[in-house]
Chains A and B, each alone.
Chain A
Amino acid sequence: MADKVTMPIEATHIMMFARSVNDDNQIYYDANYAKNTEVGHVLPPPTFYRSVAQFDPDYFLRPKVGQKWFGSAKGPSGIEGKPASSGGLHAEQHFEYHLPVKPGDVLTVTTKPGKVWEKESQRAGKLVFTETILEYRNQDGELAVTSRGVGVKTERPVDQG
């Protein structure tokens, strides 16, 4: 991810995100309903913050104008030959919530590298784990959310045994 990304918190994005995690809690859809809850406003679902990818100009898992995309097109991969790694799989994800977030907030998200380690696996060969820490600060400069993700790159597709 880019070192610093601006993430505007928008009600429509929250609504669409809630739909995409199969959650019909009205606090994500209806500002009038939300006003009468303990929270008092629409808020993002707890895993919403990884959607910062939408606002990252460099995010590698989004097709970009004028660039080849490794997903299928005429052939099974849009990039001839052996496609580059898809970037690996997600092994762990942890969030800490420090302050409330609501539509209209503008979060500044900064990346801090974490640890890197390796492990041998029977199902997928050598595994390389990489930790990434994201800090989400609001428009007042206060830390609102911390995210710690662990990604894993596998030597070969995970054996489905």
Chain B
Amino acid sequence: MSLRAADLKVGDVHEEVVVENLSRGLLVMYAGTSGDYNPLHTDEVYTTQSAGYPSVFAHGMLTMGLTGKMLTNFVGDGRLKKFGVRFTNQVWPGDTLTSKATVVAIGEGEIELELATTNQDGKTVVTGSATARVD
């Protein structure tokens, strides 16, 4: 299942809900696999009482990972050449995130995409870009 340049045009959009009602459990799972055990992501007591945040919040890399799921679902596996993001807002337990890729350029055997992930309030949490190989 791979993309063909001939089937695409600039402005095409692929969009997916990548997580619904984000659980603290997923933050614990992500800490465990990534190795980033910063208590700001998993330890509600530390985060609220010692660090002064209203709640634990997601690792930026989890939000990028969720965005990456949308991206590989769109371009296919093993097709990415570049994938980069900026983290623009924090992601909290209970958030529902939607990730979107927009085709901004179609070149010789590759496409460029603009990326954005937004929460249930329409606030952008990640912006970015990607380059992928296409047939």
Q: Which residues of A contact B (CB under 8 A)?
A: 13, 16-17, 19-23, 25, 27, 37-39, 43, 45-47, 50-56, 59, 61-63, 70-72, 76-77, 83, 86-87, 89-97, 100, 148, 156-158, 160
Q: Are A25 and B77 in touch, CB under 8 angstroms?
A: yes
> Given A76-B49, A91-B87, is A70 in contact with B72 using a C-beta cutoff of 8 Å?
no
A103 to B49, CA, bound (A): 42
Q: Are B29 and A158 in touch, CB under 8 angstroms?
A: no
- Tell me the nearest residue of chain B to A92, going by C-beta: B86
Q: Are B18 and A22 in touch, CB under 8 angstroms?
A: yes
| 8 A-B residue pairings within 8 Å (CB atoms) | A45-B72, A46-B72, A72-B39, A72-B43, A76-B50, A90-B87, A92-B87, A157-B51
Give B75-94 interface residues, CB cut-off 8 Å to A. 76-78, 80-87, 90
Confirm or deny: B107 has a beta carbon within 8 angstroms of a beta carbon on chain A. Answer: no
Confirm or deny: B65 has a beta carbon within 8 angstroms of a beta carbon on chain A. Answer: yes
How many interface contacts (CB-CB < 8 Å) are there between A and B? 150
Q: Which residues does chain B contribute within 8 Å of A90, judged by CB atoms?
A: 59-61, 87
Q: Which residues does chain A contribute within 8 Å of B18, judged by CB atoms?
A: 22
Q: Are A93 and B73 in touch, CB under 8 angstroms?
A: no
Tell me which of B30, B50, B78, B90 contacts A72 (CB under 8 A): B50
Confirm or deny: B103 has a beta carbon within 8 angstroms of a beta carbon on chain A. Answer: no
Q: Are A16 and B81 in touch, CB under 8 angstroms?
A: no
> Given A16-B33, A45-B72, is A71 in contact with B43 using a C-beta cutoff of 8 Å?
yes
Q: Which residues does chain A contribute within 8 Å of B46, judged by CB atoms?
A: 70-72, 76-77
Q: Which residues does chain B contribute within 8 Å of A100, judged by CB atoms?
A: 78
A100 to B61, CA, bound (A): 21
Tell me which of B29, B37, B59 contacts A63 (CB under 8 A): B37
Chain A: minimal CB distance from B35 (Å): 4
Q: Which residues does chain A contribute within 8 Å of B73, judged by CB atoms?
A: 25
A72 to B80, CA, bound (A): 40
Confirm or deny: B32 has a beta carbon within 8 angstroms of a beta carbon on chain A. Answer: yes
Q: Are A20 and B87 in touch, CB under 8 angstroms?
A: no
Q: Are B78 and A38 in touch, CB under 8 angstroms?
A: yes
Tell me which of A20, A63, A95 contacts B62 (CB under 8 A): A20
Q: Which residues does chain B contribute within 8 Å of A53, judged by CB atoms?
A: 34-36
Chain B: minimal CB distance from A49 (Å): 10
Q: Which residues does chain B contribute within 8 Å of A47, judged by CB atoms?
A: 61, 64-65, 68, 83
Q: Are B72 and A76 in touch, CB under 8 angstroms?
A: no
| Beyond known contacts A20-B29, A53-B36, A93-B87: 11 more, CB 8 A cutoff | A19-B29, A22-B65, A38-B2, A45-B69, A61-B37, A62-B37, A63-B37, A89-B60, A92-B87, A97-B81, A160-B53
